[in-house]
Amino acid sequence: MNNLKLGVLVVSAHDLTVPKDGRGAASAFVELHFDNQTFQTVTKERDANPVWNQSFYFNISDPKRLPNLTLEAHVYHFKEDSSKSFLGKVCLPVRSLSVPYSLQHHPLRKKGILFNSRVKGELGLKVFVIDGDGHDLPMNSGMHDEIESQQPQPEPESKPESSKEDDLSSSSDYLLKETNPYLGRGQIVQGRLVPGDVSTYDLVETMHYLFVLIVKARLDFALNSEDVAGSLKTYLEIKVGNCNAITKHVERKQNPEWNEVFAFAKDYNLEPSALDVVVKDDDQFFGSLHFDLKEFTTRVPPDKPGAPKWYQIEDKDVEIKKKGELKLAVWHGTQADVAFPYAWHSDASLPPHVSSDADAHIRAKVYHSPRLWYIRVKVIEAHDLVASDKSRVLEAYAQVMIGNQCLKTKIFSQPRKEETETAQSPILNPVWNEDLMFVAAQPFGDDQHLMVSVEDRVSPDKDETLGKVAIALNSIEKLTDDQSISSQWFTLETSIMSDSMKGKQQSKDKDEKLSSRIHLRVCLEGGYHALDEPTNYSSDLQPVATQIWKPCIGVIELGVLNASELLPMKTREGKDTSDAYCVAKYGHKWVRTRTITDSLSPKFNEQHTWDVYDLHTVLTVGVFDNSRVGNHANGNRDEKFGKVRIRISTLESGRVYTFSYPLISLRPSGVKKTGELHLAVRFSYTSLVNMMFLYSQPLLTVMQQDMLYDQAVLMVADSLGLEKEVVQYTSSNAEESDVWSVRRSKANVFRLMSVFSGLVGVAQWFGEVRVWKNPLTTALVHVLFVMIISSPQLILPTVFLYMFVTGIWNFQYRPRYPAHMDTKLSQADSVLPDELDEELHTLPTSTLDLPDDIVRMRYDRLRSIAGRFQNMMGDVATELERIQEILRWPDSHANAMFAIFCLVAAVVFYFTPFQVVVLVAGFYYMRHPKYRSKMPVPSALVNFFQRLPAKTDYML
């Protein structure tokens, strides 16, 4: 690929920073820097939202270095004195560009941490790669492999497989098992690489394929009017050994086009080693081509793809003139090939009785969830409300709706004044001062509105609308910091009133010129992250406003290797089988592997990459059965095998974690293992300073997140192309259910007992000291007591020094396995059938044969209250476990920081008098408010503590 080029389309910029020269808007231009080359766009005079639509092409000096290069786009303001001022920049590592040909808006960033310049806005770019022939190559992991890989990965002669003893207990099936697979660069042994061949596709096993690209044909036959009408179809059959594939059926014409790629896995026994392509016209044999597979070369990235060639179609049974030509290309390759994501795969083929429309549901895809905004509506007051019936007192409340979200304020009423001879309908000016929170998904359409109405409670079962107003979502002001949003008065429309009320209102307006109004403060909260996942298992904590994003701190790489021992979910041709696929979710990016049909041990070997912005995040991988392939017992609902959660903060940087995770499901019959999922995971940080700094930063959440969580999940499910049950299961958290569970309650009680066991042990030890069970120990305690009383300034240094030494000692016992669901800790292995039936029972109760609705209501209420109580116990256990784990190294970064802090504190407190410490702490706590933050931001110590892991990761 000597002529490989990187193409950059500079599309536009939005909301650029206003320059300091007072011109009101920036005269912006963009400088592009890549591989020691620079290009510059034209300057857009005085435009805060400039549009360029200019394309530039960079020569790539060394294609092997492409994944390690970075594209930089600098935005400048052109001054009148011909100088320039910096407005922001975008840095894009090539390996992070995983979405082909897609327009991406990137937030502009500062030059560095030490620069105090105010930067805001976004820059829209399209980045792509073209070869010497001008063909576009998608920027994805396959492209990276095509560029970096120099030789095909040889298949290892033997692979170690984990053996099972016959007398192995069933409980061991639920434990993690470390594997030592051969991946792209060699064998992984205990997280370390035994080098092999070089490849960027290094977290999956190398799979070899035969690729067949069908482009078009020139067929020699006469057409009549019936043919032109489209009644006859032309298609191709491709046969490789015992594998068959069929192209799409195109309308009969002399120059049909397909442009389809087929990948035949070499796991199949290809005998004989030949390729046959049969041309069929209206299901009748037209001609064929025969190839020997040995004549095709192996394509190793960064080799260029072979150009398709024309081959003559032959009919061996009829010796006549040629029947036409077919343009195609054939080559050997791996899943690192650029054509792999777009190919039809023989290991993911559709059964013959299934419609080809399901092909779109078995291919690998990448999805991006929408940006969710919190909408804060403060309903302040209303003026000049008039009831239709002047004989009654108004009982007014405000109702706010966005889609299917509806919230109401409290009811406001006031006594009506005494009527006079010219009495009119009473006028009410209610005051509410209530904050209401909603969630909405961007982009906001022109038909999306915030509906605010004022209702009058006429009777317990009847409300009357006094007026309403519609506010377009795309007109609401966006708030990204602690600045204040001004309130506005809105006129309430009365078009929804009844005819009698309209007449009275019109008559009153003529006499008094009154119009009902409502006072609101509405804004889009961009400084928070709208959670569409459980709080403890969130994969994204970035605020929705991209201009205040923090820099990326690292990269998480996931290799989905294979699954094994899957339970059959359907029966096909008398055989129990499954059609499995995986879904991985982190941040805004969802990925779905291809569906492997008719297999209980599918091999995926697909690798994906995400940028990491916060360590307190979790990568989730779920395994599902595709209901759109074959006959499924549950119709179009995809059955779930289980899921795996991996907390980023518990991963050592640079280590490759290769484990077989048991897929565990809790069913009415008890806990059940539905299979195993083999993954390879690696986290690599890019900035150690930024990563450590995060531990002092607060988590961007709001108090109403639990109330809005369900709505956020539904919005994501509606906007993605994934099945709703897949999105909901991946984003759900059964461990925080508000339904009573004896099993979870017992598990939380045992967690608390485990935490307090240390204190109980200390109390028992001191009791033994008190009764002189061991005289030597008791004597030493007396000596230590005298030393403490005589030198109280040594208390704090001693405590911190003890914690430091304990932490360093426990480093050798730090967890080597990632956290996963523990059936013993969850009490799932000893749960009784009656307890399990109660836990899995629906709320509200629907199937119990209860004699009275009141009994059912009380039972459901008891379960709900008990569920909240058990969650409270779980929260307490979580906080105490964080204290307990702070010296046990579950999070090596946090534990190292705490150990260093303890050492420094011990030295400081040794040389600082205890009275001085207390004096400084007291004055700091009582400092003047002007020296405190205006925002109620938690302290760095609280933020650090909240980021520590707990045993919630082990809970089922």
Q: In this structure, what CATH number is given to the domain that contains residue 89?
A: 2.60.40.150
Dist CA 201 CA 152 (whole Å): 12
Instruction: Tell me: do 682 and 554 sit in the same domain.
Output: yes
Q: Which residues 6+ apart lie within 8 Å of 879 measured at CB? A: 950
678 pLDDT more than 70: yes
Question: Tokens 């799979």 belong to which residue?
Answer: 207
For the chain, give the percent of residues with pLDDT over 70: 78
Q: Is residue 606 part of a domain?
A: yes
pLDDT at position 391 is 73
Give mean pLDDT, residues 765-789.
84
Instruction: Tell me: do 236 and 291 sit in the same domain.
Output: yes
197 pLDDT more than 70: no
422 pLDDT more than 50: no
Q: Is residue 159 part of a domain?
A: no
**What's the mean per-residue pLDDT of the chain?**
79
Instruction: Tell me: do 669 and 753 sit in the same domain.
Output: no
Q: Using CA atoms in the order 739, 740, 744, 745, what is the torsion angle rounded to 10 degrees?
A: 140
Dist CA 645 CA 663 (whole Å): 11
Dist CA 698 CA 527 (whole Å): 12
* pLDDT, greater one: 468 or 736: 468
Instruction: Tell me: do 585 and 552 sit in the same domain.
Output: yes
Q: Is residue 502 part of a domain?
A: no
Instruction: Decide: 606 and 345 in contact? Cβ < 8 Å.
Output: no
Give mean pLDDT, residues 436-451.
88
Give mean pLDDT, residues 404-419.
76
168 pLDDT more than 80: no
Q: Which residues 6+ apart lie within 8 Å of 462 measured at CB? A: none
- CA distances 164 to 62, 248, 675, 818, Å, are 48, 46, 15, 22
Instruction: Tell me: do 123 and 216 sit in the same domain.
Output: no
Of 186-195, 471-480, 643-652, 942-951, the range with the lowest mean pLDDT is: 186-195
pLDDT at position 165 is 38
CB neighbours (10 Å) of residue 353? 9
Q: Is residue 137 part of a domain?
A: no
Q: How many domains are contained in the chain?
A: 5
CB neighbours (10 Å) of residue 358? 17
Give mean pLDDT, residues 93-101.
61
pLDDT at position 941 is 82
pTM: 0.66
* pLDDT, greater one: 668 or 488: 488
Give mean pLDDT, residues 268-280.
73
Tokens of 64: 């092997």
351 pLDDT more than 70: no
Q: Last residue of some domain: 679, 696, 731?
A: 731
Which among 17-31, 112-126, 763-777, 904-918 has the top mean pLDDT?
Answer: 763-777
599 pLDDT more than 60: yes
pLDDT grade for 19, boundaries at 50, 70 and 90? confident
Of 1-15, 348-362, 498-512, 646-660, the range with the lowest mean pLDDT is: 498-512
568 pLDDT more than 50: yes
pLDDT grade for 151, boundaries at 50, 70 and 90? very low
pLDDT at position 706 is 66
* pLDDT, greater one: 483 or 738: 483
Instruction: Tell me: do 726 and 815 sit in the same domain.
Output: no
Dist CA 511 CA 424 (whole Å): 11
Which among 156-170, 511-525, 647-661 has the top mean pLDDT?
Answer: 647-661
Structure confidence by residue, pLDDT tens digits, 35-49: 889 999 999 888 878
- CA distances 264 to 126, 239, 290, 415, 789, Å, are 32, 10, 16, 81, 80
Give mean pLDDT, residues 321-345.
82
Instruction: Tell me: do 788 and 888 sit in the same domain.
Output: yes
Q: Is residue 643 part of a domain?
A: yes
Question: Tokens 């879904």 belong to which residue?
Answer: 583
Please return the burial class of 924, using the count of CB atoms within 10 Å of its CB with bins 0-12, 13-18 and 19+.
exposed
952 pLDDT more than 60: yes
198 pLDDT more than 60: no
Q: Which of 361, 276, 349, 286 is nearest to 323 (CA)?
A: 286
Dist CA 287 CA 906 (whole Å): 86
Tokens of 355: 């419609």
Instruction: Tell me: do 923 and 802 sit in the same domain.
Output: yes
Instruction: Tell me: do 352 and 450 sit in the same domain.
Output: no
Q: Is residue 509 part of a domain?
A: no
Q: Last residue of some domain: 81, 103, 130?
A: 130
Full residue range of the structural domain in which residue 897 is found: 742-954
Instruction: Tell me: do 725 and 755 sit in the same domain.
Output: no
Instruction: Tell me: do 856 and 776 sit in the same domain.
Output: yes
For the chain, give the percent of residues with pLDDT over 90: 17
Q: Is residue 532 part of a domain?
A: no
CB neighbours (10 Å) of residue 655? 17
pLDDT grade for 178, boundaries at 50, 70 and 90? confident
Q: Is residue 271 part of a domain?
A: yes
145 pLDDT more than 70: no
Q: Last residue of some domain: 130, 150, 182?
A: 130
**Strands 257-265 and 344-345: what pairing?**
parallel
Give mean pLDDT, residues 717-727.
85
Q: DSSP string of 101-120? A: T--EEEE-B-S-TT------
Give mean pLDDT, residues 273-286.
83
Instruction: Tell me: do 391 and 480 sit in the same domain.
Output: yes
* pLDDT, greater one: 563 or 783: 563
248 pLDDT more than 80: yes
Give mean pLDDT, residues 604-632.
87
